[in-house]
Amino acid sequence: MSPVNPTERLEELRRLIRYHEERYFVLDDPEVADVEFDALVKELRQLESQHPDLATPDSPTRRVGGRATAGFDTVEHAQPMLSLDNAYSEDELRAFDERVRKGLGTAESVVYIAELKIDGLSIALTYEDGMLTRGATRGDGVRGEDVTANVRTIKAIPLRLKEAEASAPPGQVEIRGEVYLPKRAFERINREREEAGEALFMNPRNAAAGAMRNLDPALVARRGLSAFTYQIVGGPAFADSRPEGRPPRTSSAETGLPHVGADLQVGPPSSHRETGPWVGPRTHAETLETLRAWGLPVEAHWRRCRGVEELLSCCREWEERRRTLEFGTDGIVIKLDDLALRDLLGTTSKFPRWAIAFKFPAEQQTTRLKAIEVNVGRTGAVTPFAVLEPVVIAGSTISMATLHNAEDLTRKDIREGDWVIVEKAGDVIPRVVGPVLSRRQDDSVPWTMPAACPRCGAALCREADEVVWRCENTSCPARLQRGLEHFASRSAMNIEGLGESLIAQLLAGNLVTDCAGLYDLGEEVLAGLTSTSARSDGKAISRRFGEKNAAKVVAQIERSKGNELWRLIHGLGIRHVGERGAQLLARAFGSMDDLCDATTAQLQTAHEIGPVLAASVRSWCDEPQNRQLIERLRAAGVRMAVPPEERAAMPAPGPLTGKTYVLTGTLASMTREDATAAVERLGGKVAGSVSRKTTGVIVGAEAGTKAAKAEQLGIPILDETAFRTLIEPGPDRAALP
């Protein structure tokens, strides 16, 4: 019998709804019809409205609520969210396996976990004492956007971990995963958009990414997103789960783990609560099963593989079998199973050395190349692209594809009117592989690069040592268009809503002539513009931009004034200056004034700044119009310097600049955090793994395998006394590595 007490009935309803959500959204094995589930939710809503004092923040009815926000805050991840290196062939996968075994110092086969690579967007979920408190996008890998309200609408993601009091760690833990749009939901959304006369989404990944960046959670909920999780990082509980004193598991061969993850039952035993701190997983297989035990969604087709040949067999199997899945996948993610061995291998600045993404061979189709046109980029680079008769490849309709550069196009002898083979490289970027010569028309002629810019008419030129043709006219409308798009992009000033179509209208109406002009725009001007989209039948639909959208864009432009200095430097589009270069320049010089006044020689004294980049910065700063642009941005209120408190926290060039150290073991005189800060204050870096580029390894008590690896590679080892000498002023410092 159902309890009649409101408190008991509320708890019973919440328990039942969570159970059926897990059966439907996580296990894909529902036990009740939709109408029965809806009845439970309806009853819960009614009871909570009658007894608002009994409502709880983790109730299933709280998944969607509140008004749309004005923007997303940025938050820092517990650990950087690194990208994965890619392998596009079996030989490249074998080379990865060889690097792993060489790094571990073994000729024996090692154990990997192979997981399907979900075609979605990365997400970081923070749980505190089992309750979902935050969801964040990957962002730049260090900081992402706080999209908690949107994450709460995804029913596959539990608001409270299953049986949190018994199986989840205390305190805070961050869980990584992937948000995706199921194929059925994608098809439904496009049908609805077509009926409404709106532009169709090109693929499920774009639709999912667009949904997560929507400011209205109610709209996100209707999109029908789902998710899979695969990693546990960060949080005090997890940091304590693998104490240095515990012997690492050097092989997973004895674990008895089966090949198919769905058959394995692993989880932290409740006795850990009684005998000591929570003990986290030691292998990736245990991680996946722990996540599943907590009620989180885990993609069920992961497989444990010993050695590269089993990995290759798995990849070959899924190359064809993937088409039967309800979600998109373009490859297999391969990870070393043993977490202790991962620590030994470490990471590069971009990728973990213990993981790689094996990309399935690109899908190809044959279609007619209608025309070869050229695109003018923000630096004036003019690159050809193919206009194709539309063709469907890997679920996307392709009508344009890259041709790289004029030299590559000539080498392949691709001509207008040819039948060509088109593929999605890495299942993402369409490109023309080459012509089908047997179907070429007799009257076809080789294609040649135009002599003048198609937008402004200026003569194109090419330097002797380059393959790229350029338009040198800095006032070229195409260069302005791409430059403004870059300035507003997420990796630069991050002005949300200021996209290609809106920028094109601003330029066409002569409303802006450079990036400084963006800060003069008002809501009235933007509200009167129109937005244009295409229906599936090719007809264009124009709509007024409107006051609401105008207010959002103006607010985003205003917010960007306070961005970090490196974002401004990157957004200016100085040739050869990417994100990393902009960050290094901001750190080294601290203000636009000091950067613009620096000589080429002074620029090269900055860490990692070489002669080519230094010359490019100096050349840009020497242009009077660029100096005027800086002054106009300053007058608009754009931040031109790193605040003193941030500058003080930045490591300045010092006696250890350019040197990298690794810490292992416990130091008696200071914590690891203090030791790291001491090295960084002197300009050095502290890495998490030993490589041939490591300057020295600092060894404390109970040092781990990093010291042994340093000895194998002939890298200097410093005890605590030598380390103190290294970081403290004195004549003996110079003698140390």
Known catalytic residues are 117
Alpha-carbon distance of 422 to 366, in angstroms, equals 6
Provide the 3-class DSSP secondary structure of residue 555: helix
Provide the 3-class DSSP secondary structure of residue 567: helix
| Side chain identity at residue 367, one-letter code | T
Nearest residue to 259 via CA among 285, 283, 292, 281:
285
| Side chain identity at residue 440, one-letter code | R
**Does residue 374 contact residue 384 with C-beta atoms inside 8 Å?**
yes
| Buried b or exposed e, range 256-274, using 16+ CB within 10 angstroms | ebeeebeebebbbeeebee
Max Cα distance, the chain (Å): 86
Nearest residue to 559 via CA among 145, 171, 229:
145
**Does residue 478 contact residue 503 with C-beta atoms inside 8 Å?**
no
Alpha-carbon distance of 526 to 553, in angstroms, equals 8
What would the two tokens of residue 137 be?
A: 């996008």
Q: In three state form, how does the secondary structure of 406-463 look? A: HHHHHHHCCCCCCEEEEEEECCCEEEEEEECHHHCCCCCCCCCCCCECCCCCCEEECC
Q: Which residue's entry shows tokens 């993610």?
A: 333
| Long-range pairs of 407-410 with CB within 8 A, sequence gap ≥ 24 | 407/467, 408/467, 409/372, 409/384, 409/447, 410/446, 410/447
